[in-house]
Structure 1
């Protein structure tokens, strides 16, 4: 049942695109307390410690690549994690559990090589709540509370930590939906917009007028088209190449005539197909209902948290069949010692759930590209002046 709940809360309903009404019972967490942060600079937390990837070459040979922490990064990254909480309530508590630690380490920790890392805990809508909603059962989940928590964390970050620095917004799934709403309600049209280097918000349908770069969900924030662009958005949803999202797809199909789902390929912002610099998790995925992964290569020993398979995957933004998505392809080669089988599908009752595509690896399939972009866009922002 857990698989049914993974990605349903995408903050795509109209209410999420508007400033939420004040709740007389809402009390914000105290984000001046370190315990309410999953990651903060200088701590031993989910974004700290040793981190490395094993690169598996086409001949099966391996090498280990360190993923270091920058000594004095000039920019910041603010991350909102996807739906992972296993709490058996509508909204999670603020306790840091294995689920939150794991996803931050898998999706966000590698950015520490280019930025200071900030990731608030927030009372997100849980996997249990999303399962209940999908099964038509009653749920007391409060998505507005989840959003308000992140707003409170963002305001605390601006007040205590930002000091005029450029900042990247990074999310996935529910986290991307929250960040989209944050852009809509707290950033666009305000002075703080000048400090946004870029927003990376995959795994959520970001709608734009067909053929346009701005408008739709975000009124003044355009899509990014080069590593020199700043104040822009990267958004994509992932499917296997050749798989057209079905009519009931949760991702890649716009419900609004005239609007399309944005697709920016982190490996080729200017368009076209390009190799993906993936950093795939070698242990637990962001949740435990992903399709299985074959051995990376015969005889290859991988003990690091990440694996890289240079040149094996490529991606391109595709618009056909009324759906827009990042089409990920395994570029198989009979002479290549590595696997041609890529995991990452959402599974339920032993079957692939086609309507979710490769949602579980939206981030990791292009994580190396994203870290490189973060560095380049951060430098571009610095050159343009604070």
Structure 2
């Protein structure tokens, strides 16, 4: 049934075709547009929403590519903003909307059930998805960028798409590198040469190493239970190899410590939208990995769960990941295949937003715009 979908025959979006935007400043309402009021279930405190700047007044843009979420049984998802796609945009990208104008294209990703045949060697589906992302990027550059700074945000398959996009079209272009404010490439095995901040995916764009550094990449995969997984070991990353990205023993999967980059080493929790996630494969996995409570919820637009954790980058048995230690525990029943992968972005989400804020300010100051 999966192979019979035959999606490799679908042509990638080309010049002149209209980008299907999931999120864009031109849309009256989109899933990346949520107020930021939040209830913290650990402290019991509720914070009011930050005043939202008008889209034209936001200092930089964000280009977001969502992870593997489609429930379709096919090799490529239809190019529509399905409920599960809208849910993940709220989950991961909406919190950045106080910092930037958010542009997020709909793309014909490889759904969860399509990944095994792609890993097994079915040729073409990843190229279809990447063609859509590249066409949307070209559309954005031609019609919306106007020299503005850009923050890339991706997770999992979305990170893979952005690794390829930055590698092929931003890293080798000095003018575009000048517009790179930062890149949050989470849960997607970004690589460097061993012992270096460059030399894997990117020759010139480095990993971030200190607060207020801009034009660099924040990248890591979280883990809680310490078991081998799909993430953290470049030699085992078959999907990146299929996509034509660097893999193998000469490369190390990146891990940048967000506590260092934000200057905030305090324990953090997982912050998620309070509205239920759209039903499907991902929602079932999320519920499983946060039993018995399920995802935290409250009367606010956002909820931070009761647990608190600290993290550090570790290299255990060849897996370079961000190891989380729950110092204020909450009951979890982790799924070994994914571990905490589904919460890579949301564990310490506000810390990532703060890094983006600091990068935006530093980038603008360097340009004389601050």
User: Which residue is 2:326 aligned to?
Assistant: 330
Contact 2:42 2:306 in 1 (8 A): yes
* Contact 1:80–1:176 (Cα < 8 Å) also in 2: yes
Q: Which residue of 2 aligns with 1:218?
A: 202
Mapping of residues 22-101 of structure 1, within 5 Å? 26-28=11-13, 33=18, 36-43=20-27, 44-58=29-43, 61-66=44-49, 69-71=52-54, 72-101=57-86
Distance 1:47 1:148 in 2: 23
Counterpart residue number, 1:7: none
User: 2:140 maps to which residue?
Assistant: 157
Structure 1, unaligned runs of 5 or more: 1-22, 333-338, 346-351
Q: In structure 1, which of residues 268, 279, 295 is the aligned counterpart of residue 271 of structure 2?
A: 279
Tell me: CA distance 1:141–1:293, structure 2 relative to 1, closer, same or farther (3 Å): farther
Asked if residue 144 in structure 1 is aligned to residue 133 in structure 2, the reply is: no
Deviations 1:122-170 (A, max 9, x none): 1111122125556x6x967611111111111001101110111000000
Q: Which shifted more, 182-191 or 249-258? A: 249-258
Cα distance change, pair 306–184 in 1 and its aligned pair in 2 (3 A): same
The residue aligned with 2:166 is 183
Distance in 2 between residues matched to 1:307 and 1:42, nearest whole Å: 28
Paired residues of 1:244 and 1:321 also in contact (CA < 8 A): no
Pick from 110, 123, 143 the counterpart of residue 108 of structure 2: 123
Query: Structure 2 regions of 5+ residues with no counterpart?
Result: 1-7, 236-247
Question: C-alpha separation between the residues in 1 aligned to 2:48 and 2:353?
Answer: 14
Structure 1 Cα separation of the partners of residues 47 and 292 of structure 2: 20
**Aligned position for 2:311:** 315
Per-residue Cα deviation, 1:34-58 (whole angstroms, up to 9, x for no partner): 7x10000152111125453211234
Distance of aligned partners of 1:160 and 1:272 in 2 relative to their CA distance in 1, 3 Å threshold: closer
Q: Is the 8 A contact 2:185 2:219 kept in 1?
A: yes
Once the two structures are superposed, what CA deviation does each residue of 1:226-273 show, in whole Å capped at 9, x if it has no partner? 232111111101100xx3332xx2111131224221101222238996
For the 8 Å contact 1:70–1:115, the answer to whether it is kept is no
Structure 1 residue 292 and structure 2 residue 290: aligned?
yes
Query: Counterparts of 1:331 and 1:209 in 2: how far apart (Å)?
Result: 33
SS for the counterpart of 2:39 is: strand
Cα RMSD after superposing both structures: 3.0
Quick one: distance in 2 between partners of 1:130 and 1:315?
Answer: 30
Q: 1-side partners of 2:265 and 2:361: how far apart?
A: 25
| Paired residue secondary structure (1:331) | strand
Equivalent residue, structure 2, for 1:193: 177
Partner of 2:230: 250
Check 1:231–1:150 CA distance in 2 against 1; reply closer, same or farther (3 A cut): same
Matched, 1:373 2:355: yes
Going from structure 1 to structure 2, the CA distance change for 1:141 and 1:100 (only over 3 Å counts) comes to farther
Aligned equivalent of 2:3: none
Counterpart of 2:330 in structure 1 is 340
Which of 212, 215, 240 in structure 2 is aligned with 1:231?
215
2: distance between equivalents of 1:315 and 1:178?
26
After superposition, the C-alpha distances for 1:68-102 in whole angstroms (9 at most, x for unaligned) are 53322110000000011122321111111101100
Structure 1 length-normalised TM: 0.79
Contact 1:239 1:326 (C-alpha < 8 Å) held by counterparts: yes
Q: Answer yes or no: is 1:171 the counterpart of 2:154.
A: yes
